[in-house]
Every structure is written in C-alpha cells, then in structure tokens.
C-alpha cells in the first residue's frame, strides 16, 4: 500500500498507532496496541478540546465509549454492538423478524413500545444502546464527581443522538481532528 502511494503521488504515508502516551493522554490499556487507533485519536482530539474530563462516544458498526480524566488519563472504555448490528443479529438468529430499519426519531411516552415486530426490534435496539451509554456516562460522572464533556461522533451518531438522555456535543469529524493533531505534532 505504502509503495503504491509513493509511486503514484510521490508521498510516503505515515501510519498512526496507539501508544502508551501521546499529546498529554496516557492510554489505560495494558497493551496500548490493542486499543483501536480510531478510538485513540478521537480521545487525543477530545482531551485537546476540553480542559476537564471528557467522554467520547463513537457510534458506528460498534458503539464505543472512552473516558479521559482531567489529567489526561484514559480510564478505559466500552465496546457494544450498534443498534443496527443488534437488529441484524436478531434477524439472523430468530425466525420471522426480517430486516429492521432503526428509527432516527426517538418516540415519546408509550410510543416507545413498538406496534409491529419491526418497530419493537428497532426501538429495542436503539433503546438498549442509548440506555447503556446513558448509564455508563452517569456512572463516570458519579465516580469522577464532575459532569464530563461528552462528545458524540461516528457514522451512526445522528441516529443515536435523539435517543440519548445525556447532553452530548455532536462532533462528526472528531477522528479527523485527532489525526490532524497528531500530524501537527510530528
């Protein structure tokens, strides 16, 4: 790959990897290389944006949540199936469900209860992830005794956003912001 880029455009690509410490953030994983580099650079950007504790929620094929305290220490994270992946798993593993399209609109009141199998699966998948994220964020806030800034990013973020009860700031390009920070620091 690198040679193809060099041959075609005359550039030498630089590959980023997760390391134990970078740009004021210390990785909380015992094996930093096992932390996805997309999560890492998003945390670098988040820490640079916020003077205090910050949580990054990245909603894509998987939904990840990582927390960095005010001192730049990565406290760890969560990885869970996205609502789309959860609904697809139900479709594959059960009968008569069919492909489900999750709603981008959060229902209000009892409308949260589906009136068809499709609605029940879609609402359950979205609510499951949103509730898990809200619970994790509440636990982080309680344990840190401070409300961290919560940044939401990823391709599925717009779908998840209306389902969350926690206040979040939508940053669609947080990973790219992190890549830019790393590039500028080199």
Q: Give the catalytic positions in this structure.
A: 38
Going by the DSSP 8-state scheme, the letter that residue 121 receives in this structure is H
Question: Distance (Å, rounded) from C-alpha 91 to C-alpha 142?
Answer: 37
Element spanning 46, H or E: helix 37-49
Tally the C-alpha atoms within 13 A of residue 149's C-alpha that lie toward its C-beta: 17
The Cα-based distances of 132 to 8, 88, 104, 126, 163 in angstroms read: 46, 19, 18, 10, 11
Question: Distance (Å, rounded) from C-alpha 167 to C-alpha 174?
Answer: 17
- Name residue 54's beta-bridge partners: 68, 149
Tally the C-alpha atoms within 13 A of residue 181's C-alpha that lie toward its C-beta: 20
Question: Distance (Å, rounded) from C-alpha 181 to C-alpha 113?
Answer: 44
């Amino acid at each position: 790959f690198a040679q193809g880029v060099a041959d075609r455009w005359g550039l030498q690509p630089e590959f980023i990897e997760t390391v134990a410490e970078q740009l004021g953030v210390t990785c909380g994983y015992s094996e930093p290389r096992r932390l996805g580099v997309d999560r890492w650079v998003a945390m670098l950007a988040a820490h640079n944006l916020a003077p205090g504790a910050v949580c990054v929620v990245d909603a894509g094929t998987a939904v990840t949540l990582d927390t960095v305290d005010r001192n730049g220490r990565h406290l760890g994270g969560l990885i869970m199936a996205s609502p789309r992946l959860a609904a697809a798993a139900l479709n594959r593993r059960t009968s008569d469900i069919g492909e489900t399209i999750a709603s981008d609109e959060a229902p209000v009141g009892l409308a949260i209860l589906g009136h068809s199998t499709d609605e029940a699966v879609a609402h359950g998948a979205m609510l499951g992830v949103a509730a898990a994220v809200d619970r994790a964020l509440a636990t982080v806030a309680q344990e840190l005794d401070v409300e961290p800034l919560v940044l939401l990013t990823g391709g599925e973020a717009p779908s998840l956003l209306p389902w969350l009860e926690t206040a979040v700031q939508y940053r669609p390009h947080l990973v790219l912001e992190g890549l830019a920070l790393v590039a500028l620091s080199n």
